[in-house]
Amino acid sequence: MAIRQVSVFVENQPGKLHETLKMIADSGLNIRALSIAETRDFGILRLITSDTPKTIEVLSKESIINTTTVIAAKLEDRVGALCYVLDFLAQAEVNIEYIYAFTASEDFGAYVVIRVDDAEKAEQVLKEHNIPTLCEEDIKDI
């Protein structure tokens, strides 16, 4: 149950990140998770929102965007929970390109967003080990 992440290129200048996030907020979109990696000239803002198609529509008017398939795997609240999940992916030789985490409401817990080289294989491995993942419909509800 992969989800689409929206990546946005944002100029590394005062106020540019705020402008991008304000467009999202003004459109009634709720940011569920985000990460930003920067270079000297620009940053790559990675977002998971409550409505991916609407996010794409809103941001593509003003920014260069891209979508990427990622997996949001649920983590237990215990020491070593992330290593537990990653161990299964390592054993299956699934390469992890990047990772970041987010929390949902108390009822939904904590998740790790994983960008892998083979999402279908990674999802199958996680499913075989009873590790829940989210789909885009789930993201709307958390």
- Encode pLDDT of 91-124 as tens digits: 999 999 999 999 877 666 789 999 999 999 999 9
What is the C-alpha to C-alpha distance for residues 74 and 85, in angstroms, rounded to an integer? 9
Please identify which residue in the block is written with the tokens 């215990």: 78
DSSP string, 81-129: HHHHHHHHHHHTTPPEEEEEEEE--TTT-EEEEEEES-HHHHHHHHHHT
Angle at 45 between CA 39 and CA 33, to 5 degrees: 140
- Encode pLDDT of 56-103 as tens digits: 999 998 888 999 999 999 998 889 999 999 999 999 999 999 999 998
Backbone angles phi, psi at 34, to 5 degrees: -155, 155
Q: What is the CA radius of gyration of the chain?
A: 16
CATH topology assigned to domain 70-141: Alpha-Beta Plaits (3.30.70)
What CA–CA distances, in Å, run from 12 to 18, 27, 97, 116? 11, 23, 23, 27
Options 3.30.70.100, 3.40.50.300, 3.30.2130.10, 1.10.10.10; CATH for 3-69 is 3.30.2130.10
